[in-house]
Amino acid sequence: MKAVLKLVNIGQREGEETWEFNSGVVTEIRGRTASGKSRILKSCALALSIPINSEEIRNTAISFGIAKADNAIFSPLLNYNKEKANIELHYDDVKKFIELNRDGSEKINIPGNQKFIYCSMLVENSKIQNYIDHGLSDFSWIVTEMSLAKDYESIEDIVGSYSDLITAKKEEIETKENNKKKFEGELKKNKTELEEVIKKIGQLEVNIEKELEKIESNTEMKKKRKEIIEEIKDKQRLNSDTEKKFLSLKKTVNDLDKKIKENKNTIEDETKNMDKLEQEKNDYMKIDMSKLNNEINQLHEENEKNFEKQKLLLPEISILENHEKKYEGILRELDKTKETKVICWVCGGKEIDRNDIENDLKSTQDELTPYRKNYRDLETQIEDNKEIINIKQKEKAKKANLPDVKKKIELLRSKLIELAEENSSKEEQKNKEDMEVKKFTKIIESRKKTINQLVEKRNELEKQIIDDTQINKTREETKKQNTKKGAIENQISNLELNIDDCKSIEILKQEFDLLKAKKIVQEFDEIFTTINSHLEKNIKEQREGAAHKFNKNIEKIIEELKLPKFEKIYLDIEDNNKLKIIRKGNPNPQAINSLSAGERVIVSSLLQISAKETYNPEIPFIVGDDIILKMDNERREIFYNYLKNIAKENDWFVILTRVTDEDLIKEEI
C-alpha cells in the first residue's frame, strides 16, 4: 500500500511538495535541526485526527503544534507569508483533504479520529510520556477518555444535571407543602382569633348601648346616634361584601396572569419548534431527487461489478485454499510420525521432503494473501456502498416527508395564532379585572374613610349625651378591637393568597397542582435513577473491558520485544487502573520515578503502541519524532526491529524522524 502526502505552504516551506510512503516498512525522515522533518509528521497527524472535539486532546494537539491555540489567529502549520495552506493525504481508497486559512477557518472533506493524537504519535511530550516522566501511576484516564466510558460519563453528566433539577423540584414541592401546612395552621388560628375579636366587639357595643340607655338625656341626640350606628353597620356590611368580591377578583387576576405566562412559554417553545420545522422544510426542498436516484443507481451498479469481481476471485481462492489445507495436513502427519519425508500418492508415489512442503505451503499462502485481501477489500467497498445507499435512501425519505412537515408547520402556525389570540383576550380580560380591582380598592378605602368619619361623629354625639369614664374606656377598647380586627382580616387575606400560591408548582413551564407534580417528579426521579444505574454499570464494564484489552496488548508487545529486564507491565484494575511495572526477579512493583531515562522512553513507547492497538487499529499509521533516538543502542535496535515487524504484519505506515547533518531526505529501513 502506498501513501501520498501533498503539502502546500506548510511550515517554513512555500509552494507544493509531495512525499510518498510505503506500508509494511519503517520510513525515516532525516535532516538537520529545523529542516522541516516534524512538520511532515504533524501534517500527517492533523489529516488523520481532525476535527478534535475533546478539550483534553485538543490541549495535547496544541502542545504538539498541530492545533490552533485559543489566542492564535491561524493554524501553526500555515506558512506565515501565505493566506492558505493545503494538506492532502491519500492511502488505500482514502483521500483526505484539509484547507487551513489565514482567518483561522479550516475545511475538511473526511473526518479523522481524534484518538490518533493520544494513540499513534510517539513524541516526547505526549500525555503518556509526560505521565511516565513525572512518575505518575494513575492511568485511569486511558481507559476512560479513550473508550466509550467517556461518552457514557458525558451522558451521565447530562442526566446528573436533570437529576439535580428534579432534586430541586422535590425540595421546592416539599417547601410548598410545609409552607401550605404552616399557612393553613396560621389561617385557622387567625380565623379563630377573628371570631373572638368580632364576638368581643359585639359584646362591647352591647355594653355601651346598655350604659347609654340608663342615661336620660337628649332624645334627639340618641336618635341621631342610633341612625349613625345603623349607617356604620350598613357601610361595614357593604364593605365586607365588597372585600369578598375584591379577593375573588384578585384571585381571578392571578389565575389569568399564570395562564398568560403559561401561554407565552408555550408560544416560545412552539415558535422554536416551528423554526426547526421551517429549517427542515428548507433542507428537504434543497434535496435533488434526480441526482440522488442517479447516485444510488451508480452505487448499485458499482456493487454489482464488485460482486462479479468477487465471483471471479472465488475459484482461484478455492483452489489455493485446497492446496493450503493439503500441505497443512501433510505437515500435521509428519509432526505425528516425527518423519522428515513422506510419499505423495497424488504425485505418483514420489517422495517429498518436509522443507519442500513447507516452501510450497509458504508459496501458496503468499499467492493466496493478495487474493484474500482483494476479496476483503471488495467486501468492504460493497458494505461501504450499502451504507452510503442507506444514507441516500434516508435523504429520499426526508423529501417524501416534506408534505407532513408543511402540514405540521401550518398546524403549529394555527396553534400559535390561537394562543396569541387567547393571550390577547386574556390580557384584555386581565386589564378589565385590574380596573375592577382598582375600582373596588377605591370603594373600600372610601367606605372605610366614611365609616371612620361616622365613628368620629358618633363619638362626638356620645360625648354630648354623656361624659362617662366607663363608657369612654369601653369605647377605646372597642376602637382597639376594631383595629385588631382589620389587621387580622389583612393577615387572613394574605394567608389565603399564600395558600393558593402553594397549591401549584411550575414544571417544564406548565403549572401542576402539588399532588400531580409530586407524582411527575417521583416518576422522573425513578427514571433517572435507573438510567444512572445503567450508566454506572456500562462505565465500569467499558473501563474494565478496555483495561483487559490494553493489558493483553502490553503483554503481547513485551513478549514480542523480549525485553531483558521487564517481567510484566500492566494496568491494575483492582487499584483504579494504576500502572504497575514488575522487573524480572522482583515481584514488587517498581516506582515509576525510579526508571532510567531510557527505560521511561521504552515504557511510554510500548504503552503508546498498546493504546494504538486497543483504540485506534483502523488507522494504519504510527509517527514518531526523534523519540526512539533517546533509547540506548540495545533497546533502540530491539524497538526498531519490533516496529519493522508490526509494520509488516499489519501493513502499517511507520514514519520516524532522525536528526542528521544531511539535507531533508527519507529512507526505508
Note whether 631 and 2 are within 8 A (CB): no
Residue-wise pLDDT for 432-468, tens only, equals 888 888 888 888 888 888 888 888 887 777 666 655 5
CA-CA distance, 382 to 312, in Å (whole number)? Answer: 16
406 vs 200, residue with greater confidence: 200
* Final residue belonging to a domain, choices 359, 384, 405: 405
Average pLDDT over residues 507-516: 83
Q: Count the domains in the chain.
A: 2
Q: What is the CATH number of the domain that holds 647?
A: 3.40.50.300
CA distances from 639 to 131, 594, 648, 652 (A): 21, 21, 14, 16
In tens, the pLDDT along 171-208 reads 999 999 999 999 999 999 999 999 999 999 889 888 87
The residue written with cell numbers 399564600 in the block is 498
pLDDT of residue 184: 92
Contacts of 492 (CB under 8 A, 6+ apart): 187, 190, 191, 194
Cell of 448: 372605610
Structural domain includes residue 236:
no
Question: Where is pLDDT greater, at 193 or 400?
Answer: 193
Q: Cα–Cα–Cα angle for 71, 72, 73, nearest 5°? A: 120
Q: Is 562 in contact with 584 (CB distance < 8 Å)?
A: no
Residue 632: per-residue pLDDT: 76
Q: Mean pLDDT throughout 528-547? A: 90
The reply to whether 620 falls in a domain is: yes
Question: Does the reported pTM lie above 0.75?
Answer: no
Instruction: Identify whether 167 is part of a domain.
Output: no
Higher pLDDT, 350 or 407: 407
Domain end, chosen from 405, 439, 474, is at 405
Mean pLDDT of the chain, nearest integer: 84
Alpha helices in 466-580 (DSSP H): 469-502, 514-561
Question: Confidence band (pLDDT; 50, 70, 90) for 18?
Answer: very high
Give the Cβ contact number of residue 565 at 10 Å. 13
Please give the pLDDT value at position 7: 95
Confidence at residue 152, expressed as pLDDT on a 0 to 100 scale? 84
Does residue 210 sit within a domain? Answer: no
Element (H, E) at 455: helix 402-465
Q: For the residues 216-223, what does the mean pLDDT come to? A: 63
| Mean pLDDT (whole number) for 560-580 | 87
**Is the pLDDT confidence value at 345 over 50?**
no
Quick: pLDDT tens for 143-168.
887 788 888 888 888 888 888 888 99
Let me know if residue 12 belongs to a domain.
Answer: yes
296 pLDDT exceeds 90?
no
Q: Check residue 227 and give its pLDDT.
A: 82
Taking only Cα atoms into account, the Rg of the chain, rounded to an integer number of angstroms, comes to 44
DSSP state of 345: G
Look at residue 76 in the predicted model and tell me its pLDDT: 87
Whole-angstrom CA distances from 13 to 107, 412, 519, 625 are 21, 58, 68, 19
481 or 400: which leads in pLDDT: 481
pLDDT, tens digit, 9 for 90 and up, residues 470-480: 677 887 888 89
In DSSP notation, 566-626 reads EEEEEEEGGGTTEEEEEETT--SBPPGGGS-HHHHHHHHHHHHHHHHHHH-TTS-EEEEES
**Could you tell me which of 232, 6, 211, 20 has the C-alpha nearest to residue 97?**
6
Taking 80 as the threshold, does the pLDDT of residue 344 lie above it?
A: no
In 3D space, the residue among 567, 568, 627, 577 whose CA is nearest the CA of residue 602 turns out to be 627
Q: What is the pLDDT of residues 434-443, one digit of tens each?
A: 888 888 888 8
Q: Establish if 613 belongs to a structural domain.
A: yes
pLDDT score of 329 more than 80: no
Sign of the Cα torsion 294, 296, 302, 304 reads negative
Give the pLDDT confidence score for residue 217 in this predicted structure. Answer: 52
pLDDT category at 336 given cuts 50, 70, 90 is low
Alpha-carbon torsion (251, 253, 257, 260), positive or negative: positive
pLDDT, position 467: 54
* CATH code of the domain covering residue 385: 1.10.287
Does residue 218 fall inside a structural domain?
no
Averaged over 97-104, what is the pLDDT? Answer: 89
Domain interval for residue 370: 286-405
Instruction: At 36, give phi and psi (nearest 5°).
Output: 110, 15
Q: Tell which of 386, 405, 424 closes a domain.
A: 405
Whether the per-residue pLDDT at 99 is higher than 90: the answer is yes
pLDDT tens-digit series, residues 30-74: 888 777 888 899 999 999 998 888 888 888 888 888 888 777 778
pLDDT class for 348, splitting at 50, 70, 90?
very low
How many CA atoms, within 13 angstroms, populate the side-chain half-sphere of residue 524?
A: 20
Q: Check residue 41 and give its pLDDT.
A: 92
CB 647 within 8 A of CB 26: yes
